Every structure is written in C-alpha cells, then in structure tokens.
C-alpha cells in the first residue's frame, strides 16, 4: 500500500521589523502564507478535506484553494490589471473552492497555491505601493491590497487553527 501524500511543512523566513513599507508588507504576507501551510502540514488529503464544524463548509483544503483564488484575484488580476481567467469558473458558484473538494487533488491544490503566490509576487514586483487600480468602491492602492491580503490570511488562519484542532487535536502551528 503506497504511503498517502501529506501536506509538507513550509519554510519560514525572517522578515524585517523596521525600514521601508514594501519589505515589511511582503515579509508579513509571506509569513501569513507560510502559517496557513504550516497549519496544514502533516495532514493527508482526506484530513484536509474534512469539514469538521457543521454547518460550516470550511475545510483546510478549501481554505488553501480559497486563498489561491484570492491571491490570483488581487495580485494577478486586479492590481496589475491582468487579463488572466479566474482560478475557478464563476458559473460553478462563489463557494466552489470550499464546496467541491476531492482529497486526491490536495497535492494539486497546494502546488496551485504556490504558483499563485509566486506569480502574484512577480505580477506586482514592478508596481509602486502607491499605484492604484479601480474596484467597485473606487481606487485602491497596492499598499492597501497587501493590507487586505494580510487581513484575509489572518481571518482564515484563525479558522484554520480551529479546524486543525478539530481534526487531530494539534494546536500552536
């Protein structure tokens, strides 16, 4: 019987605590990304796909898929005004990333998450934090986009902590 795939443990890097805004924002975003992956580390696809807090549709795999979608939307489509397709077809529903889980696709979802983070970083690398783009409510700066993403990760990493504890009792990841 083959050994099941398990989510890998990410590498954390030290981030600047003083200095220019850009390295601090990029570093904190990288830390939040690694935190999500670390909460998932060591779990199988089946465990990652569990939705242990009914009636919520949240799962760790769904959160990884969701954050990959969010990374694409903000750093590859909106901020740089990119013309790539959404990660998931909108016709499948706004919660497709949370609701249509296949444990066997966990390795692919984790690889896609890494791609979205790397490509997102590359897409905005040449932009100034003061560069703006239009959203429904008006102009938004790249600086605010970083703050938005850090907030989104903070919220979902809290969810992920609770999900992980429900799955196997592990805390403090």
Give tens-digit pLDDT for 62-98: 999 999 999 999 999 999 999 999 999 999 999 999 9
Other C-beta atoms closer than 10 Å to the C-beta of 69 total 20
The first and second tokens of residue 51, run together, are 């939705």
Query: Which domains are seen in the chain, by residue range?
Result: 21-83+94-168 (1.20.120.450)
Give tens-digit pLDDT for 135-154: 998 999 999 999 999 999 99
DSSP symbol at 17: S
Q: Calculate the average pLDDT of the chain.
A: 96
pLDDT attached to residue 3: 85
pLDDT attached to residue 161: 97
φ/ψ region of 161 (left if φ > 0, alpha if ψ in -120 to 50, else beta) reads: alpha
Q: Is the pTM higher than 0.85?
A: yes
Residue 1 has pLDDT above 90, yes or no: no
The first and second tokens of residue 11, run together, are 């590498």
């Amino acid at each position: 019987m083959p050994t099941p795939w398990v989510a890998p443990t990410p590498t954390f890097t030290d981030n600047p605590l003083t200095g220019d805004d850009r390295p601090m924002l990029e570093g904190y975003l990288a830390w939040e990304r690694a935190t999500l992956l670390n909460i998932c580390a060591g779990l199988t696809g089946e465990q990652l796909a569990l939705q242990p807090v009914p009636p919520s549709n949240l799962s760790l795999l769904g959160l990884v898929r969701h954050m990959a979608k969010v990374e694409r939307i903000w750093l590859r489509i909106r901020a740089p005004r990119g013309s790539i397709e959404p990660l998931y077809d909108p016709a499948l529903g706004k919660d497709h990333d949370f609701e249509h889980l296949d444990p066997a696709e966990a390795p692919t979802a984790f690889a896609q998450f890494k791609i979205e983070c790397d490509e997102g970083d590359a897409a905005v690398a040449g932009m100034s934090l003061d560069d703006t783009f239009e959203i429904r409510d008006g102009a938004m700066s790249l600086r605010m986009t970083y703050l938005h993403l850090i907030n989104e990760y903070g919220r979902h990493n809290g969810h992920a902590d609770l999900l992980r504890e429900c799955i196997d009792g592990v805390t403090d990841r």
